[in-house]
Amino acid sequence: MNRGSWRWMLLLIGLFLLVRLWRFPETFHFYYDQPLFSIKALEIWRSGHVPLIGPPISFIWEGRQVFQGGIIYLVQLLFLLIGEFDPMRSTFAFVIASSFMIIPLWIGVDRLWGKKAALIVGSIYALFPPCITGTLELTNPYYQLALTPVLIWILSLYIKKRNGLLAFLAGLMMGVLLQFHYQFILVMGVVGAYILFLKPKVGLRDWILIAFGWGIGFAPMIIFELRNNFYNIRTILIYIEHWGEFRRQMGGGIPIQYFLSLMLVTITLLAGKLAKLPQYFLTGGLILLMGWALRDFIVTPKQGGILKDWQYHDELRVNQIIKAENLANYNIAMWYDTRSITQRYLLMRENRDFDFENYRHNQYLFVVYANDNWQSDGAYELNTFKPSKTIKQWKINDKYNLYLAERK
């Protein structure tokens, strides 16, 4: 690769880091799946037991769920270890690691279609706002996105060299990536269709090697299925049988973050044609993309992620107060997550474990709420804490307070 390519790659890495880290402390958030996966990763670290399966998908039918791969927890643990189990430092490490994925992405696209195509795809990975969000959270579809450039690099080598080892590695990488989320089946379909129409045609040997590599990469889930009477497959068939209910539970559809890997691979395969567009069109698109990224993440960033009026430093303040009270037999409920997964992780990492699920018999309850009418909330975690009285109150920010209630 020439110096010009390295200059462009370094520029894209710089822009990648700029839009993500310029206001990182303000926009950083850690809730829902992130602390939930972190709790499991911490349990793995302490117990030494590595599970075959990872977290389930959101849809539940009669108590059945489809499980994803255990590699999710292992990657989560890797970044937690790098960040010494501090969520902000661990996410910072993930951002840095994701930025270096521009290198295999550039090399792969450049090998297939040339430097202009590599600049197009690299710019989308670095500056497309959903991709920016997708490399600012420790969760499975974003790990999948960050590792997809490695698959693109391997595929570019295979397409040019038709080497059996590269066919195996491409299959292996697809098997690994499928563990992060099952929508990757769509990516595999796109890649498979592309390989199918290559000239000269791919031989049977290479298809076998791709399939063998995929089996190795997806082996933990295959072992789980064999040990558990094909639990996931049978559950998927039940989902299909109740497709109408599945669609209703999904509400507005599947969020865009689950399709970012598909988008990146598809644009890569189309990049040769995109590179032939007029220069003014490509320059204008790059300017618009940069403007969009600057607006959403530097000029007017989304404070605290999707939660309005609540930032990570508010979560830390709540955590410090809870630890300072040094109570026993308590539980926690937050306005946005009544199970308080973030607080659970922050307490668990300091070995302050308690009976998280016992909301019926705890003597004390910490509640983060906008007002003292929290007892009127219909959530189980709040509704079962009756009769009770508020014995302390702290102001956390301009909107939310922390209440300490005691059961009468």
- DSSP secondary structure, 249-313, as one string: HHTT-S-GGGGHHHHHHHHHHHHHHHTTS-HHHHHHHHHHHHHHHHIIIIIS--TTTT-TT--HH
Q: Which residues, at least 6 apart from 9, have a Cβ–Cβ distance to it below 8 Å?
A: 102, 103, 106, 122
Which among 267, 301, 238 has a CA at the least distance from the CA of 112?
A: 267
Residue 305 maps to a domain: no
Same domain flag for 244 and 321: no
In a domain, 132, yes or no: yes
Q: Are residues 349 and 251 in the same domain?
A: no
pLDDT on residue 73: 97
Cα dihedral sign for 48, 49, 54, 60?
negative
392 lies in some domain = yes
Token pair 């598809």 is found at 266
How many Cβ atoms from other residues are within 10 Å of residue 171's Cβ? 27
Statement to judge: residues 200 and 128 lie in one domain? yes
62-115 residue pLDDT tens: 778 899 999 999 999 999 999 999 999 999 999 999 999 999 999 999 999 999
Residues 358 and 275 occupy one common structural domain: no
Q: For residue 266, with 0-12 CB atoms within 10 Å meaning exposed, 13-18 middle and 19 or more buried, which class applies? A: middle
Token pair of 245 as six digits? 């209910």
| Eight-class DSSP state of 329 | S
| Residues forming a β-bridge with 364 | 330, 406
- The pLDDT value given to residue 328: 86
Final residue in a domain of this structure, among 274, 299, 324: 299
List Cβ neighbours of 268 (8 Å cut-off, separation of 6 or more). 108, 109, 112, 121, 152
Q: Are 122 and 8 in contact (CB under 8 A)?
A: yes
Q: What angle do CA 209, 214, 219 make, to 5 degrees?
A: 125
- Both 129 and 217 in one domain: the answer is yes
pLDDT for residue 210: 97
Which of 237, 266, 299 lies at the terminal end of a domain, its last residue?
A: 299
pLDDT of residue 303: 55
Structure tokens at 83: 């960040």
Residue 288 and residue 341 in one domain: no
Contacts of 208 (CB under 8 A, 6+ apart): none
Q: Confirm if 340 and 382 have CB atoms less than 8 A apart.
A: no
Q: How far apart are CA 352 and CA 366, in angstroms?
A: 15
Peptide bond into 35 cis (omega under 30): no
| Cα-based distances in Å from 83 to 77, 86, 90, 126 | 10, 5, 4, 23
Tokens at residue 178, please? 């499928």
Is residue 307 domain-resident? no
Separation of alpha carbons 188 and 185, rounded Å: 5
**238 and 361 part of one domain:** no
Q: Are residues 292 and 316 in the same domain?
A: no
**Does some domain include residue 399?**
yes
Tokens of 37: 């996966």
333 and 206, same structural domain? no
Q: What is the pTM of this model?
A: 0.92
Positions in the chain whose pLDDT score sits under 70: 1, 246-254, 302-306
Number of structural domains found in the chain = 2
Q: Do residues 366 and 262 both lie within one domain? A: no
Among 242, 276, 299, residue at a domain's last position: 299
Q: What confidence score (pLDDT) does residue 253 get?
A: 60
pLDDT digits (tens, 9 = 90+) for 108-142: 999 999 999 999 999 999 999 999 988 899 999 99
Same-domain check for residues 239 and 337: no
Q: Which domain holds residue 358?
A: 312-407
- Residue-level pLDDT at 306: 62
d(CA 328, CA 322): 11
Tokens of 180: 């992060």
Same domain, 198 and 320: no
